[in-house]
Amino acid sequence: MITDNDIDVFFSDDFAQDATYTPQGGSASTIKVIFDNDFKTIDMATGIESAGPSVTCKALDVASVKHNDTLVISSVTYYVSGIQKDGTGITILLLSKDMV
C-alpha cells in the first residue's frame, strides 16, 4: 500500500515547485506541484494536437478541488479545467488560463 510518506518523495524541492492553490470562496494555501506544459496528440486519426498545462499533486492537498479553482505558478494564474484522481493519493489537474 502506498503511504503519504511514499508520495512525499516526489513532491520534494528536487522534483516539485510551489504553487498557490485557492479554492473558490476559500483561503489560499501553498502546495507542491509538478508542473507540465507538454505537447499532446488529441486524436491520432485526424492528427489534432495541442499543448496543455497540468499539474500533478498530492490528493490530500486538493481534496475538495473543483473546476475553476485557481493555481498560481511562477506568477501565472491558471484555472482548474479537469480533475483526474488516480486512487493512489495523486491527482492530476488540467489547467487553463481562462475560466471554464
pLDDT at position 21 is 98
Report the number of distinct structural domains present in the chain: 1
**What number of helices (H) and strands (E) belong to the chain?**
1, 8
For every one of its 100 residues, what pLDDT tens digit does the chain have, with 9 covering 90 and above?
A: 667 777 888 899 899 999 999 999 999 999 999 999 877 666 667 767 666 899 999 999 999 999 999 999 999 999 999 999 998 999 999 999 988 7
Give the burial class of 62: count Cβ atoms within 10 A of its Cβ; 0-12 exposed, 13-18 middle, 19 or more buried.
buried
CATH of residue 32's domain is 2.40.10
pLDDT at position 46 is 76
77 forms beta bridges with 72
pLDDT at position 90 is 95
State the Rg of the chain over Cα. Answer: 14
DSSP state of 62: G
98 forms beta bridges with none
Its domain, for residue 56, covers 4-96
